Amino acid sequence: MNRPRQQRGSAMLEFVLAGIASATLIISIVQLGLAMWNYHTLTYAVHETNRYIASHGRSCTTGGNSCSITVGDIANKLHSYTVGIPDTNLSMTLTAQSGTVHTCTTVSSCETDTTQWPPVAHMDNNPGNYTKINSQLTLNLAIVMVWAGTTGSRSASTVTLPATSNIPIVF
């Protein structure tokens, strides 16, 4: 008769112990899934934006053609491909073959920039020259608080996801 009395509350205790682990696992899976989706979206957007740049080289500025593009056009193109990613967390750096660099701390800060890209100086817009985009997305993830090595009482922390594309100009 004493046996059931000694086990009273053990089911609740086991549920609490298993529930904490289960909740942590579920939150981790959701957060990692969101981070992977954002990373895939970012890498796709950077690659497609660089393809857009590569098809607007020197031939767009000679012979009466007027299909040259600006940094603002590139920023808008990147923004159109990054569905669900806020502009305020996304940065972009454009690098030409000669080493000319144009940095946008946030993509939205460059959407009205009228600087021609790829630049005509140093013949950076010639077919065969490379154009490069580096982009970084900063995410606030709650999963960081359960990673090994984190200390303190963090409710969320940041993770930076990089993406790079390097493509030769073809037109």
Q: What is the b/e burial string over 54-76, where b = at least 16 CB atoms within 10 angstroms of the residue's CB?
A: bebbbbbbeeeeeebbbbbbbbb
Residue 156: per-residue pLDDT: 60
Show me where the domains of the chain are located.
2-168
Low-confidence ranges of the chain (pLDDT < 70): 1-6, 144-156
- In whole angstroms, what is the distance from residue 42 CA to residue 33 CA? 14
Residue 101: per-residue pLDDT: 97
Residue 2: per-residue pLDDT: 55
Residue 4: per-residue pLDDT: 62
Residue 28: per-residue pLDDT: 85
Residue 150: per-residue pLDDT: 57
Residue 152: per-residue pLDDT: 57
Residue 93: per-residue pLDDT: 98
- CB neighbours (10 Å) of residue 44? 15
Residue 111: per-residue pLDDT: 94
Six token digits for residue 110? 């460059």
HEC per residue, 75-111: HHHHHHHCCCCCHHHEEEEEECCCCCEEEECCHHHHC
Q: What is the pTM of this model?
A: 0.83
